[in-house]
Chains A and B, each alone.
Chain A
Amino acid sequence: MITVSRLTKTYGKKVRALRGVDLEIGLGMFGLVGPNGAGKTTLMRILAGLLRPTSGKVSVFGNDVTTGRGKKAVKEVLGYLPQELGLYPDLSALEFLEYVALLKGVTDKVERTKQLDEILELVGLTQDAKRRLQTYSGGMKRRVGIAQALLGKPQLLIVDEPTSGLDPEERVRLRNLLAEMSARCTVLLSTHIVEDVSQSCNDLAVINLGQVIFRGSPGDLIAQARGHVWNLVNSTERPDASLTVVSTMQAQDGVTYRVVGIPAKETTANPVEPNLEDSYIWLMQQSRSIASNSMSPISRVN
């Protein structure tokens, strides 16, 4: 169980990355969604013990990550894939993973070799394991990143934007891999790609401007957007500026827009069942309009 209470993080004197975050995360796969700059990476880094919070409490499996002892205890059960993953270009994947395994305390050679073989197989890199990392594609590098995170049999897997920059096939593959892993350990998936969460998480939080603005299941989030997603069929003019256009389809007799918001002329708009992406956009719209007035969270489920 991960518990975050009144967590704040300020960079310098002006940038408030987290503004009193409260969160409880149980077992399984948890999605943290939010736009770029929302504070997701800051939160992930604090949970991983890499960043010191300005104030608040963070407990990971009963360990306080703000203390040296707690931080070490968390790192012993942690698998972490940073947002900006770097690798030593001159090493092969096998050499790099072996190095990380040693740092993670997998010192027994037999056990290390067993884990390396299993994980390389799992991420589909067995054939290329001895190639230098500088020859790897972006997707293969991400897989090496996942592989290193899985070393040492972690109880907590924190993956920060793991699918950004990957082609659709690689994304699906990575998502499935994380979903499989969530049967064995707690997986925290941070992303700004809503589809990743919709396909793999039963539990999620949406974060914006350093605050949790939604906490619940994908179904709960969708329920909030019901009645606010529309199709504007055969429209001859662009939708109202207050609406967010989520898709535009050209047709012979006009354009069909899928929009989120409240259209001025509801008679020309057909309500449609929202998906998670629509719901996220609706939530963001609401968040922005409230943020312009005050900075309080707008919605909490559970």
Chain B
Amino acid sequence: MVTTVLIGLIFGAAILINPLANLSYSKDELNNILQNTSVIEKWTAKGYSVDIFRQQAVGMMAETTVILVSPAWFTLLLTSFLLLPAATAASLPADRSFGVAELLHSTPISGGSYLAGKILGVGLMVALIGLIPLGLFFGVLEWAFLDAFRVGVPVDVISFFVKFALMDGLPVLGWGLTIGILAGSVFRSRLAAVFPGLVAGILSIFFWLAALSVPSVQLDAATYFLLQNYHSAALDIMDKATGSTPPPLFGAEAPIIGIGRVIMMYLVIAVTLFILAGLARLWLKWKENF
């Protein structure tokens, strides 16, 4: 498990390096503009204070952060399918290879409770481990903003990524760990379960992108919904200052989706997992009378 976490962190860092590097570039650009007296004079001539201009710069960086980092983070979540199911697939076979399964089956718990307990137990562990990269991510963002403007990450950006973690991160992790446990449920040895777990993870990537994504953008409905509805304080300032309405994040042609579509996505996930768990339950009943 420790090895898997380490591999995951290295993988994650590699995927996030590009947008974070771009963020650093944007920071330099904005700082240059902030130090450009002719630009400041132009703004003040229009009646905007330097303070508003500075807030606008921070806001621009917040926008860049959300636009650049969230697709990378989404990619990272999907990439976790390569590791997570392979790591959790050994969960049930471990009881068999340790020789504990027969003993556990002799207790009054049902096969369904046993499966649910495994999923919840592994889920709690994965959620706790998931807090490490999440904490690192917020730490790096905080450092980037403090470095650029001597201010912390704007609340709306934090709020966006917290929502992202809850609305998209949790379902992805829940799916990944559950699919791994279920794929491994038919095997007796831990080693034998790893490869099917890996295959289940790869298939999950295709499933996620085929069944749950919004056409043309390759983001799932939850990520798309969050990005589409992200409206930063910087945009508010811009609206008030210029009276203009900024264009939609994905362009004028992009589809608009509501919360219903996101709920539908969760329903598809829940029903699919429920059916697969039912099959695993039947397998335990048929094969192990449990």
Contact = CB atoms under 8 A, between A and B. Distances in A.
| Binding between chains A and B | yes
Interface of A: 45, 48-52, 71-72, 75-76, 78, 80, 82, 84-89, 100, 103-105, 145, 148
A302 to B, nearest CB: 29
Contacts of B290: 50
A87 B106 contact: no
B107 interface: yes
Nearest to A48: B106
A92 to B, nearest CB: 15
Contacts of B110: 72
Nearest to B107: A103
Contacts of A148: 103
Contacts of B108: 72, 75-76, 103-105
A89 B107 contact: no
B289 interface: yes
Given A86-B100, A87-B100, A51 B106 contact: no
B286 to A, nearest CB: 9
Contact of B103 (A49, A51, A100): A100
A88 B101 CA distance: 11
A85 B289 contact: no
B128 interface: no
Nearest to A151: B107
Contacts of A45: 102
A75 B110 CA distance: 10
Contacts of B109: 103
For the complex of A and B, 5 pairs with smallest distance between CB atoms: A86-B99, A80-B106, A103-B107, A75-B108, A86-B98
Contacts, number: 53
29 contacts: A49-B106, A50-B105, A50-B106, A50-B288, A50-B289, A50-B290, A51-B289, A52-B289, A72-B108, A72-B110, A75-B106, A75-B107, A80-B103, A82-B99, A82-B102, A82-B103, A84-B99, A85-B99, A85-B103, A86-B98, A86-B100, A86-B102, A87-B100, A100-B107, A103-B107, A103-B108, A104-B107, A145-B103, A148-B103
A48 B290 CA distance: 11
Contacts of B10: none
B102 to A, nearest CB: 5
Interface of B: 98-110, 288-290
A165 to B, nearest CB: 14
Contacts of A49: 106, 289
B98 A78 contact: no
A81 to B, nearest CB: 8
A78 B106 contact: yes
Nearest to A71: B289
A86 B90 CA distance: 16
B98 A82 contact: no
A49 B102 CA distance: 11
Nearest to A105: B108
A45 B104 CA distance: 13
Contact of B100 (A52, A71, A88): A88
A46 to B, nearest CB: 9
A48 B102 CA distance: 10
Nearest to B102: A82
Contacts of A105: 108
A73 to B, nearest CB: 9
A187 to B, nearest CB: 15
A89 B98 CA distance: 8
B115 to A, nearest CB: 14
A84 B106 CA distance: 13
Nearest to B114: A103
Given A104-B108, A105-B108, 8 more contacts: A45-B102, A48-B106, A50-B102, A75-B107, A80-B103, A82-B103, A86-B99, A87-B100
Contacts of A82: 99, 102-103, 106
Contacts of B101: 86
Nearest to A65: B289
A148 B104 CA distance: 10
Contact of B104 (A52, A71, A84, A103): A103
B210 to A, nearest CB: 38
Contacts of A87: 98-100
**Residue from B104, B106, B288, B289 having most chain A Cβ neighbours under 10 A:** B106
Contacts of A52: 289
A218 B196 CA distance: 53
B98 A88 contact: yes
Contacts of A50: 102, 105-106, 288-290
Contacts of B107: 75, 100, 103-104
A86 B290 CA distance: 18
Nearest to B286: A52
Contacts of A104: 107-108
A51 B106 CA distance: 10
A190 to B, nearest CB: 14
B129 to A, nearest CB: 17
Contacts of B99: 82, 84-87
Contacts of A89: 98
A48 B104 CA distance: 12
Nearest to B105: A50
A76 B108 CA distance: 5
Nearest to B110: A72
B95 to A, nearest CB: 8
